[in-house]
């Protein structure tokens, strides 16, 4: 197994560290361990060592993201396109630039307009205003100006009652 720091020498030191609530494994060759002061650790240096390893792991993840490969599960963008599903939760972060346009094509908008939890039947002012704006646009497009005027008046009433989010 190659060293996770230099990627050249064979790793002789294997260590595990908890980082972001996940157990990460780091393989290091002896020259890199000496160079970074990992050998001969004393208890006072354990925090420094942990910080160093955390930094290395983050750099390793970032390098994987640049290559277009999930640092956690190894999923690549071509794999995702072929299979049609992501490998883990880290994939959403790794491929976010490619996923956002894809999700926008699949969905009409970014606001949920489907069913909600039981017992919550009342729409917030924000949702009412969004629906009325859409209805206003449709009324104007269909040249139903009297309906549009009524909808406009309802919008003004909602705005004066407490703003877009229902707060005063």
Q: What is the pLDDT of residues 120-148, one digit of tens each?
A: 555 677 777 888 889 999 899 888 899 99
Residue 149 has pLDDT above 90, yes or no: yes
pTM for the model stands at 0.32
pLDDT at 136 (0 to 100): 92
- Cross-strand bridge partners of residue 19: 22
pLDDT at 148 (0 to 100): 92
What is the pLDDT confidence band of residue 168, given thresholds at 50, 70 and 90? very low
- Quote the CA–CA distance of 137 and 32 in Å, as a whole number: 64
- Quote the CA–CA distance of 81 and 11 in Å, as a whole number: 34
Structure tokens at 145: 């100006």
Q: Which residues of the chain form beta strands (DSSP E)?
A: 13-19, 22-28
CB 131 within 8 A of CB 90: no
CB 38 within 8 A of CB 13: yes
* Span 18-39, average pLDDT: 73
């Amino acid at each position: 197994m190659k060293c996770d720091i230099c990627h050249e020498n064979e790793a002789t030191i294997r260590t595990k560290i908890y980082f972001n609530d996940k157990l990460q494994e780091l393989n290091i060759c002896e020259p890199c361990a000496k160079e970074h002061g990992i050998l001969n650790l004393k208890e006072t240096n354990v925090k420094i060592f942990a910080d160093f390893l955390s930094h290395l792991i983050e750099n390793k993840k970032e390098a994987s993201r640049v290559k277009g490969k999930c640092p956690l599960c190894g999923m690549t963008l071509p794999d995702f396109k072929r299979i049609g599903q992501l490998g883990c939760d880290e994939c959403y972060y790794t491929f976010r630039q490619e996923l956002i346009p894809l999700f926008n094509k699949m969905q009409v908008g970014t606001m949920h307009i489907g069913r909600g939890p039981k017992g919550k039947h009342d729409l917030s002012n924000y949702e009412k205003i969004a629906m009325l704006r859409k209805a206003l646009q449709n009324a104007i497009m269909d040249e139903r100006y009297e309906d549009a005027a009524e909808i406009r008046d309802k919008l003004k009433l909602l705005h004066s009652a407490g703003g877009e989010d229902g707060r005063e």
